[in-house]
């Protein structure tokens, strides 16, 4: 069935053509081109008319010939414009050759002059020529000075027209009607990305593995917006805000994406840095505009990622006498968050990994009523995360997800996603049809230790030193009860490291003094082996020394695990001490702390030397195997040192988690589990720098 066309008058058609026939919701700029074409047409018409009235140009030879024939009545010399106009006698106009050369004027007449125009170079020479011809022939000549006002006025009009056109074009752009380039007049508008009912992120809570406690609290907020009567009937009020806090890569932004995908209400998403610009007052203006839009679309959710960009505590690092735009933005945010009506239906979600630096007024109840801590995934949660990320992969039968979850303690959700992707890339590089278990193990090694550099040139002496260094780590850790169990040792260079020893830390809730001292002793085993075998030490223990120094400092100043310092902790959970130059203890205490740290490290170093001296033959056997094979595994150490007494806590944790998952209902309280160290390589550093693996060291500084 054809649609009936609307009858339009000629005026309507003409108006549409000049307006560009704009369609609502589209950026139609074609109407402006009609005005440009019209202006260009008028310009060329005027130029054509002006050129049409211009006399025919003749040469000096032709002018002399016409004068000698007696056809010229008068010559008008315009000195300042360097040309002369020639007026013919009336009877000569109709004769040859003039009748075919003279142009008609606008009225179609040829009788009135001037009939010809001659351009000369030097006015003096031209005057002499005319005077000589005047003495011999009958004609007159005059001198004039003219100003071409018409052309000058037209040029000014043309210039002003171009300027006005450019100004209109620029104003159209900056006012925002010309597309994404118009931002100057809209600089105070919010940059939030809106996800409404017709636009979603295609992310749901099913895509968020683990994080059961955090997911439950966020789902409750979404459920309140969907079914408010369920809560209001009991007198409950919806939380005004929820703050997602946790280390990088744990899934805070992913939770927010899931909320946007399932809330079925308008969802405004932006970053904390989107509020701040170089202009004063822009941040506060954008906050007002954001909340205005949210209130108009209520019920709605506002998500501010990395809120610490504008939410830092006021008064820190404030420049003297300057206007702090970030503080103005924060003040406006505080006002808007606490200025809601009870049933306004606008909820604030925010994410940060620096909750310790946020302003207290921002954290109080009434603004962020809930703080949802998103911790590193435990063993069971890592298993669930692996299940999500391996769905698009083509796996072979050798892949054991439970084994991989045990091999990745301390990995965040983003790290696990990276492991799965790297495994697929490694399999594709090897031209495999599917991803296998070894590909996942290679991916873990790649992420922790860096890329293998088998072509790196290492002298035999350096290779032997590296082998004994890594063998020292492996020997001490194998013989100590509380040290982390060994996975493998390699002297293949990775990243900036020349060798590494991989360990599998236990899933611990708490750490005892003995466990920390054993880990320090194992870390110093590499340097101790160098001194025992070669009677000299090298720079290869850089990351080891850094690790044990930090660990000893934490034991003395944070955990209160030193007898002389006592049960005292100088740890500042608020983070305010980072902005001051004062220490919370005296100079005498500082000297005592330094001495205790030094003594603690020296004791463990001597302990490592004693262990290696008693097992020197086994140390040498292990080092020689390393030189020969370059990579040795747990089974090789079992053959040299015998069975090691291990406490398989990871298996126990997995069993307990499965039992809890079977018994506890969905809304049961989530268990919290302390963050463990990653599969950490104890590396031999190259002189250029430390290893990439040490970036994953966990110092367990949380109280």
Average pLDDT over residues 652-668: 43
3-state secondary structure (DSSP) of residue 174: helix
Task: Give pLDDT, residue 693.
Answer: 37
**Residue 106: pLDDT over 90:** no
pLDDT range class, residue 608, cuts 50, 70, 90: very high
Which tokens sit at 499?
Answer: 């060798």
Task: Give pLDDT, residue 685.
Answer: 55
User: What is the C-alpha separation between 366 and 337, in angstroms, rounded?
Assistant: 8
User: What is the C-alpha separation between 526 and 518, in angstroms, rounded?
Assistant: 14
Q: Which of 586, 470, 490, 583 is nearest to 533 (CA)?
A: 470
C-beta separation of 692 from 495 below 8 A: yes
Which tokens sit at 621?
Answer: 């056997």
pLDDT range class, residue 549, cuts 50, 70, 90: very high
C-beta separation of 349 from 242 below 8 A: yes
Please state, in angstroms and as integers, the Cα–Cα distance from residue 150 to each residue in 13, 153, 483, following that order. Answer: 36, 5, 97
Residues 6 or more apart from 470 whose CB is under 8 A from it?
489, 490, 491, 499, 500, 501, 526, 623, 626, 682, 684
**Residue 80: pLDDT over 80:** no
Average pLDDT over residues 45-53: 59
Task: Give pLDDT, residue 581.
Answer: 67
Q: What is the mean pLDDT of the chain?
A: 77
Pairing state of beta strands 267-271 and 300-305? Answer: parallel
Average pLDDT over residues 369-377: 88
Per the document, the length of the chain is 703
Where is mean pLDDT largest: 70-74, 113-117, 504-508, 685-689? 70-74
Residues 6 or more apart from 323 whose CB is under 8 A from it?
280
For 426-469, the DSSP string reads HHHHTT-SSB-HHHHHHHHHHHHH--B-TT----HHHHHHHHHH
Share of the chain above pLDDT 90, in %: 20
Task: Give pLDDT, residue 186.
Answer: 57
Q: Which of 438, 398, 401 is nearest to 422 (CA)?
A: 438
Q: Which of 670, 645, 642 is nearest to 657 (CA)?
A: 670
List residues bridging with 360 in a β-sheet: none
**Residue 211: pLDDT over 60:** yes
Who wins on pLDDT, 502 or 691? 502
Where is mean pLDDT largest: 119-123, 636-640, 668-672? 636-640
Please state, in angstroms and as integers, the Cα–Cα distance from residue 703 to each residue in 523, 554, 560, 586, 672, following that order. Answer: 24, 11, 11, 23, 14
C-beta separation of 380 from 201 below 8 A: no
Who wins on pLDDT, 157 or 672? 157
**Which range, of 10-24, 60-74, 154-168, averages the lowest pLDDT?**
10-24
Location of structure tokens 């367990």: 700
Phi, psi of 90 (to 5 degrees): -60, -40
C-beta separation of 474 from 637 below 8 A: yes
CA 367 to chain CA centroid, nearest Å = 28
Angle between helix 30-52 and 149-174 (nearest 10): 170
Where is mean pLDDT largest: 16-30, 37-51, 270-284, 362-376? 362-376
**Which range, of 50-59, 304-313, 452-461, 544-553, averages the lowest pLDDT?**
50-59
Residues 6 or more apart from 618 whose CB is under 8 A from it?
475, 640, 641
Helix and strand counts by DSSP (H, E) for the chain: 26, 15
3-state secondary structure (DSSP) of residue 686: strand
3-state secondary structure (DSSP) of residue 334: helix
User: What is the C-alpha separation between 374 and 674, in angstroms, rounded?
Assistant: 12
First to last CA, the chain: 75
Average pLDDT over residues 490-512: 80
**Residue 242: pLDDT over 80:** yes
**Residue 546: pLDDT over 90:** yes
pTM of the model: 0.64
* C-alpha R_g of the chain: 43
C-beta separation of 502 from 681 below 8 A: yes
3-state secondary structure (DSSP) of residue 40: helix
Sign of torsion over alpha carbons 611, 616, 622, 627:
positive
Average pLDDT over residues 44-59: 67
Q: Which of 322, 331, 269 is nearest to 300 (CA)?
A: 269
Pairing state of beta strands 346-352 and 56-57? Answer: unpaired
C-beta separation of 469 from 493 below 8 A: no
The residues carrying an active-site annotation are: 470
Cα 449–Cα 454–Cα 457 angle in degrees, nearest 5: 110
Who wins on pLDDT, 53 or 666? 53
**Residue 668: pLDDT over 50:** no
Who wins on pLDDT, 685 or 645? 645
Task: Give pLDDT, residue 103.
Answer: 67
**Residue 354: pLDDT over 60:** yes
Who wins on pLDDT, 490 or 23? 490
Who wins on pLDDT, 392 or 346? 392
What domains can be seen in the chain, in order of their start residue?
A: 54-146 (3.40.1690.20), 193-314+326-373 (3.40.50.300), 379-448 (1.10.8.60), 465-577+587-696 (1.20.58.760)
**Residue 611: pLDDT over 90:** yes
């Amino acid at each position: 069935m054809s649609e009936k066309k609307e009858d339009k008058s000629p005026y309507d058609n003409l108006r549409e053509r000049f307006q560009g026939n704009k369609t609502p919701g589209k950026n139609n700029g074609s109407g402006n081109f009609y005005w440009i074409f019209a202006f260009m047409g008028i310009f060329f018409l005027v130029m054509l008319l002006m050129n049409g009235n211009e006399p025919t140009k003749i040469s000096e030879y032709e002018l002399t010939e016409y004068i000698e024939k007696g056809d010229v009545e008068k010559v008008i010399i315009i000195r300042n414009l360097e040309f002369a106009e020639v007026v013919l006698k009336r009877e000569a106009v109709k004769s040859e050759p003039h009748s075919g050369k003279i142009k008609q004027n606008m009225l179609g007449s040829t009788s009135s002059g001037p009939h010809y125009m001659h351009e000369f170079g030097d006015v003096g020479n031209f005057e002499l020529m005319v005077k000589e011809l005047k003495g011999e022939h009958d004609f007159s000549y005059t001198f004039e000075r003219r100003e071409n006002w018409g052309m000058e006025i037209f040029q000014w009009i043309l210039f002003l027209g171009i300027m006005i056109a450019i100004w209109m074009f620029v104003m159209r752009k900056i006012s925002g009607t010309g597309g994404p380039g118009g931002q100057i007049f809209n600089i105070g508008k919010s940059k939030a990305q809106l996800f409404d009912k017709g636009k979603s992120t295609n992310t749901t809570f099913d895509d968020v593995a683990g994080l059961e406690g955090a997911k439950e609290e966020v789902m409750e907020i979404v459920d309140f917006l969907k079914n408010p009567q369920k809560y209001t009937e009991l007198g409950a009020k919806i939380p005004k805000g929820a703050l997602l806090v946790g280390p990088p890569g744990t899934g805070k932004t992913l939770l927010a994406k899931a909320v946007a995908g399932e809330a079925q209400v308008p969802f405004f998403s932006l970053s904390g840095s989107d509020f701040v610009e170089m202009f004063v007052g822009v941040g506060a203006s954008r906050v007002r505009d954001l909340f205005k839009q949210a209130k108009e679309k209520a019920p709605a959710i506002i998500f501010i990622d990395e809120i610490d960009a504008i939410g830092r505590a006021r008064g820190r690092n404030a420049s003297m006498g300057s206007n702090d735009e970030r503080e103005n933005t924060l003040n406006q945010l505080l006002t808007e968050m606490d200025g809601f009506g009870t049933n306004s239906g606008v909820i604030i979600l925010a994410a940060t990994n620096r909750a310790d630096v946020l302003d207290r007024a921002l954290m109080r109840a009434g603004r962020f009523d809930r703080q949802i801590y998103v911790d590193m995934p435990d063993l069971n949660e890592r298993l669930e995360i692996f299940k999500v990320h391996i769905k698009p992969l083509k796996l072979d039968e050798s892949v054991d997800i439970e084994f991989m979850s045990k091999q990745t303690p301390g990995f965040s959700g983003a790290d696990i996603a990276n492991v799965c992707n790297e495994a697929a890339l490694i399999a594709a590089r090897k031209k495999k049809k599917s991803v296998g278990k070894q590909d996942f193990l290679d991916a873990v090694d790649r992420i922790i230790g860096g890329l293998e550099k088998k072509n790196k040139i290492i002298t035999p002496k350096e290779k032997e030193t590296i082998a004994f260094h890594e063998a020292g780590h492996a020997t001490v850790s194998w013989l100590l009860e509380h040290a982390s169990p060994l996975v493998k040792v390699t002297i293949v260079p990775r990243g900036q490291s020349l060798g590494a020893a991989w360990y599998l830390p236990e899933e611990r809730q708490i750490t005892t003094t003995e466990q920390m001292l054993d880990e320090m002793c194992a870390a110093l085993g590499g340097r101790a082996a160098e001194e025992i075998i070669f009677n000299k030490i090298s720079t290869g223990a850089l990351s080891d020394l850094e690790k044990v120094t930090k660990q000893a400092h934490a034991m003395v100043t944070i955990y209160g695990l030193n007898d002389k310092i006592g049960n005292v902790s100088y740890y500042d959970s608020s983070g305010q001490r980072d902005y001051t130059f004062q220490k919370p203890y005296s100079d005498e205490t500082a000297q005592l702390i330094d001495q205790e740290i030094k003594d603690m490290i020296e004791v463990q170093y001597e302990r490592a030397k004693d262990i290696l001296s008693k097992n020197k033959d086994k140390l040498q056997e292990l080092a020689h195997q390393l030189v020969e094979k370059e990579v040795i595994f747990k089974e090789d150490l079992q053959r040299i040192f015998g069975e090691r007494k291990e406490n398989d806590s990871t298996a126990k944790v997995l069993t307990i988690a499965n039992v809890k998952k079977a018994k506890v209902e969905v809304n049961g309280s989530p268990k919290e589990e302390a963050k463990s160290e990653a599969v950490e390589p104890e590396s031999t550093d190259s002189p250029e720098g430390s290893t990439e693996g040490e970036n994953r060291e966990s110092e367990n500084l949380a109280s």
